[in-house]
Amino acid sequence: MSPSRLLAVVLLAALWGPGALAAAPPSRRPRVDREAMREAMDAAATDEGAFSSSASYSHYLRSRLLHHAGDHRGSVDALRLALATDDGHPLLLTRLAEEYARLGDLDKAERELRRAVERAPAYYPAHVLLGRVLLESGRFTRARLHLRRAMSLKPREPEAYLVLAQLYLESGSPAEAVKVVESLARALPGEASGYRRLGLALAERGDTHRAERLLTEAASRDPGDVEVLGTLAKLYEETGRPARSEETLARALEHEPDSQEVLLAAGRSALKAGSVVRARAYFDRLLSLSGEPETAVRVAFSYLAEREHTAAVEVLESARAASGDEPRLAYYAGLVHERMRRFADAAEAFAGVPESADVFADARVRRARCLSLAGQHPRALALLRDALQQAPSDLEIRAQYARALERGGAPARAESVLKEGLAQGPSASLYDALAGTLQRQKRGAEALSLLREAVARAPKDQALLYVQGAAFERQGDVAGAQARMRAVLEVEPDHAAALNFLGYLLAQTGRDLDEAERLVLRALELRPDTGAFLDSLGWVYFRRGDYPRAVEALERASSLSPDEPVILEHLGDAYQRAARSADAAGAWRRALEVLSLDPESAEPPGQREALERKLKALSMGAAGR
């Protein structure tokens, strides 16, 4: 469906009310549910309903009631009583195994299932459940045998296929899992469940190519599966096809025109495809369906991600006007202005959060920080002083108070405030704040000495080691920074920030780029969709000379963190090497715009001058042509 046609669907959906569609004429004969008929015939062909006595059946029924009530231990007891008078019944044994499995006792579950398949070798449910239990136990080979046996017993039953596909996926053989799903499709033409489940699982694991193929097939078999269409759309967006993403979401909205998640995703895709008009239609429809403050915030931040700042502010201001004194909207409006580096406006918005609100404490600190960044130092310091008096052990307030003192021209007092906090107890965050204060006063060696003493007292404190590594990097000691980040990883191998930091440092040096890529990819596994980590990955590709991949990673990083000067500078560098001079100039100018509003975000401190030199060289190069 084209985006323009989708707009008609969205807008008409807002006008249709109950009864707007004419009632369909009654059918001449009832529709035949062939799947239900098949299940009924399969059930009739088994002896599951044959019990040796009414007592056995009564205990079985009681076990089912207990099962559905969540009392699996009670269900076990009832099934044992049923088996006392009906020993070896495969249904009872399989149900008993299921209860044991739910209780986490896989050994007992396996024992009962082996009894079931010995007594009834052709009993399909026992083979399937035994395959599941063996899969959970990590015995893939034996699990495959029982699942294959189940498939041969009932080749038109999907469950065994689905479990076997899961087995291959968990054992690291996605290609074999795809073959199983395709076997299910041949056995049951039109069946979508295999393609659906495996496609969704592969998408979650980042196997984009296979996931897209399987989900496309699932969508063709079940065009109304909104989850499949939504996941497909996300894959298209992640691979740089926003128009295709929007078209796919259009199909989803045909089936669920009031789906708030789909409307939000469609608006975001329209923005990425370059159409603010279509995005506004989706978002307006979404906002008409939900009066929740969080909805307005999500829409506002969607606009912000694509640098539609005016639209973001309009959404929040409209929501505030409509909801009156809703404190969360004042808070979120402050967040939006803060992200836009409009610090005076942000402070004014945060001031609208009353003391009774649950976000008041954070709003007060944010307001003070914004006032400080806007140059209104006395008001900022008064707010932070009051906050610190009320919560003297709050490390964030203390650090913000010290930074505001430093901005206001009192670095010695800032240093004193931080040391007072450290006297109350060691804190990596306060050591970091103090090291930064000393560094900005050109006392980097003193900062390193301070951290060296702190680490000597707590050599396994990963947070302190990380702070020390960052301080070495600020002093230009790359080898020392790398050593400290490796020390962090010795204590905590999955410390995502340290993995990323070390990977970035290796990329900066241009050596060990394979290790750098491995480290950053691991950080992204731990914290997906982190703009700073994607920036590091893009920088690895840049240093390797793979500029198309660098651009792709850095564009994703910029979409997640749209106003970070470092990411924008790296993106401009990658554009330049990819022979996209106009895009390079645009990225560098955006970075300069941010730095003009927030000089403190420069990294390194001379970033603004470096960007100006790059732009000048670029313009001179263009003039030379």
| Contact between residue 433 and residue 450 where contact means Cβ atoms under 8 Å apart | no
Considering the domain boundaries, does residue 578 fall inside one? yes
Position of tokens 């796919």? 248
Considering the domain boundaries, does residue 350 fall inside one? no
Among 138, 154, 170, give the residue marking a domain's end.
154
Average pLDDT over residues 65-71: 94
Q: Is the pLDDT of residue 14 over 50?
A: no
Residues 547 and 456 in one domain: no
> Which pLDDT band holds residue 620 (cuts at 50, 70, 90)?
confident
Please tell me the least confidently modeled range out of 27-36, 79-88, 316-325, 477-486: 27-36
State pLDDT tens for residues 328-379: 888 988 988 898 899 999 999 999 999 999 999 999 999 999 999 999 999 9
* Length of the chain measured in residues: 625
Residue 586 parent element (H or E): helix 581-597
Distance, CA of 190 to chain centre = 32
Please report the DSSP string for 243-277 in residue order. Answer: HHHHHHHHHHHHH-TT-HHHHHHHHHHHHHTT-HH
Considering the domain boundaries, does residue 261 fall inside one? no
State pLDDT tens for residues 508-562: 998 899 999 999 999 999 998 899 999 999 999 999 999 999 999 999 999 888 8
State pLDDT tens for residues 449-501: 999 999 999 999 999 999 999 999 999 999 999 999 999 999 999 999 999 99
More confident residue, 140 or 40: 140
Q: CA dihedral defined by 326, 332, 334, 335, rounded to 10 degrees? A: 170
Report the 3 state secondary structure along 62-96.
HHHHHHHCCCHHHHHHHHHHHHHHCCCCHHHHHHH
What's the Rg (C-alpha) of the chain? 31
Average pLDDT over residues 161-189: 92
Residues 533 and 489 in one domain: no
| Percent of residues, the chain, with pLDDT higher than 90 | 76
> Which pLDDT band holds residue 42 (cuts at 50, 70, 90)?
very low
**pLDDT at residue 176, as a whole number:** 94
Q: Which two tokens stand for residue 415?
A: 């240093």
**pLDDT at residue 304, as a whole number:** 85
Average pLDDT over residues 67-75: 94
Considering the domain boundaries, does residue 547 fall inside one? yes
Q: Which domain holds residue 127?
A: 57-154
**pLDDT at residue 25, as a whole number:** 39
Q: Is the pLDDT of residue 58 over 70?
A: yes
State pLDDT tens for residues 388-432: 999 999 999 999 999 999 999 999 999 999 999 999 998 999 999
More confident residue, 367 or 563: 367
| Contact between residue 591 and residue 569 where contact means Cβ atoms under 8 Å apart | yes
The amino acid present at 369, given as its one-letter code, is R
Residues 522 and 487 in one domain: no
**pLDDT at residue 584, as a whole number:** 95
- CA dist., res. 609 & res. 606, Å (int): 6
Residues 524 and 591 in one domain: yes
Please tell me the least confidently modeled range out of 47-51, 206-210, 220-224, 418-422: 47-51
Distance, CA of 475 to chain centre = 34
Please report the DSSP string for 85-133 in residue order. Answer: HSTT-HHHHHHHHHHHHHTT-HHHHHHHHHHHHHH-TT-HHHHHHHHHH
Average pLDDT over residues 132-157: 93
Among 154, 180, 200, give the residue marking a domain's end.
154
**pLDDT at residue 100, as a whole number:** 93
Task: State pTM to two decimals.
Answer: 0.67
Considering the domain boundaries, does residue 469 fall inside one? yes
Considering the domain boundaries, does residue 165 fall inside one? no
Short-list 359, 344, 356, 406, CA closest to 381: 406
Residues 545 and 481 in one domain: no
- Total domains in the chain come to 3
Average pLDDT over residues 309-318: 88
Q: Is the pLDDT of residue 46 over 60?
A: no
**pLDDT at residue 297, as a whole number:** 87
Q: Is the pLDDT of residue 625 over 60?
A: no
Considering the domain boundaries, does residue 251 fall inside one? no
**pLDDT at residue 279, as a whole number:** 94
Residues 513 and 473 in one domain: no
- CA dist., res. 561 & res. 530, Å (int): 8
Q: Is the pLDDT of residue 208 over 60?
A: yes
Residues 103 and 131 in one domain: yes
> Which pLDDT band holds residue 15 (cuts at 50, 70, 90)?
very low
Among left, alpha and beta (phi > 0; psi -120 to 50; other), residue 419 is alpha
Alpha helices in 120-241 (DSSP H): 124-136, 140-153, 158-170, 174-187, 193-204, 208-221, 226-238
Q: Is the pLDDT of residue 19 over 50?
A: no
SS3 236: helix
Hey, how many other C-beta atoms are within 10 angstroms of the C-beta on 525?
13
- CA dist., res. 444 & res. 476, Å (int): 10
DSSP label at 27? P
Residues 481 and 515 in one domain: no
Residues 472 and 534 in one domain: no
Residues 97 and 142 in one domain: yes
| Contact between residue 602 and residue 564 where contact means Cβ atoms under 8 Å apart | no
CATH number at residue 481: 1.25.40.10
| Beta carbons within 8 Å of 443's beta carbon, 6+ residues apart | none
**pLDDT at residue 6, as a whole number:** 39
Position of tokens 């006007």? 321
Considering the domain boundaries, does residue 316 fall inside one? no
Residues 471 and 512 in one domain: no
Please tell me the least confidently modeled range out of 6-20, 56-70, 463-477: 6-20
Hey, how many other C-beta atoms are within 10 angstroms of the C-beta on 609?
10
Among 110, 131, 154, give the residue marking a domain's end.
154
The amino acid present at 551, given as its one-letter code, is V
Residues 527 and 562 in one domain: yes
**pLDDT at residue 13, as a whole number:** 37
Mean pLDDT of the chain: 88
Q: Is the pLDDT of residue 624 over 70?
A: no
